[in-house]
Amino acid sequence: MNGYLIEVITYLSKGALVSLSIFAVTLVISFPIGVILSIGIRKNKTLRFMIRSYTWFFRGTPLMLQLFLIMYGLPFIGINIDRMTVAYIGFIINYSAYFVEIIRAGIENLPKDQFESAEIMGASSFETYRYIILPQAIRTQFPVITNEIITLIKDTALVTVIAISDLMRNVKEIVSRDFTISPFILASIFYLLISYIIIRVFRALENKYDYLELVS
């Protein structure tokens, strides 16, 4: 029995690494893109229209559909990529759209005099966003960002639809083969553990920002 359990855990761990890879790559790339576009949306009408159209489409259609569009649409126009690349592209594009709106909302909720004060002090546009606007906007949106990142780790299960051997696909294989529910329990523990870590990390960051504000 112990040997079987070790075998199951080992097999599920391989899938968990795939899920974590998609999660990490998506977060590291999509969040900065979201920040950049949330600034770009304020620059001019043409850019604002393009970014809003982008966020409207990718927030308004299912991620599963987007994965299928990338997987079958790109080869249709002569671009062939492997399934993991499809997953990376799909998740990054989708979550960038969500982060754009989250950060944009944080920026727009700040008092207008933040920009005016920075301009009077002679700060450049880059310095204004880098040192004044973005830290405050991101800080106020911590709860929303935390929820979005938790959703991201759970959404990685969607890559099963394009036949990637992530955690949930490996779970289904073992359950179908051995008629046991233990893989479901192990998968639940994995997702709960990652969610707990995310919550703790952002709670620590939130407390750190609160402390710095009190000190200043």
pLDDT in tens, 82-98: 999 999 999 999 999 99
The CATH code of domain 15-169 reads 1.10.3720.10
Residues 6+ apart with CB under 8 A from 131: 123
The whole-number pLDDT of residue 1 equals: 57
The whole-number pLDDT of residue 212 equals: 47
Domain ranges (residues) in the chain: 15-169
Angle, to 10 degrees, between the axis of helix 2-40 and the axis of helix 167-178?
Answer: 150
Angle, to 10 degrees, between the axis of helix 63-76 and the axis of helix 83-108?
Answer: 130
pLDDT in tens, 25-63: 999 999 999 999 999 888 788 899 999 999 999 999 999
Report how far residue 27's alpha carbon sits from residue 175's, in angstroms, rounded to the nearest whole number.
30
| Residue 7, token pair as written in the block | 């075998």
Tens of pLDDT along the chain (216 residues) come to 577 788 888 999 999 999 999 999 999 999 999 999 999 888 788 899 999 999 999 999 999 999 999 999 988 888 889 999 999 999 999 999 999 999 999 998 888 777 777 777 878 888 888 888 898 899 889 999 999 999 999 999 999 988 888 999 999 999 998 888 889 999 999 999 999 999 999 888 888 776 545 444
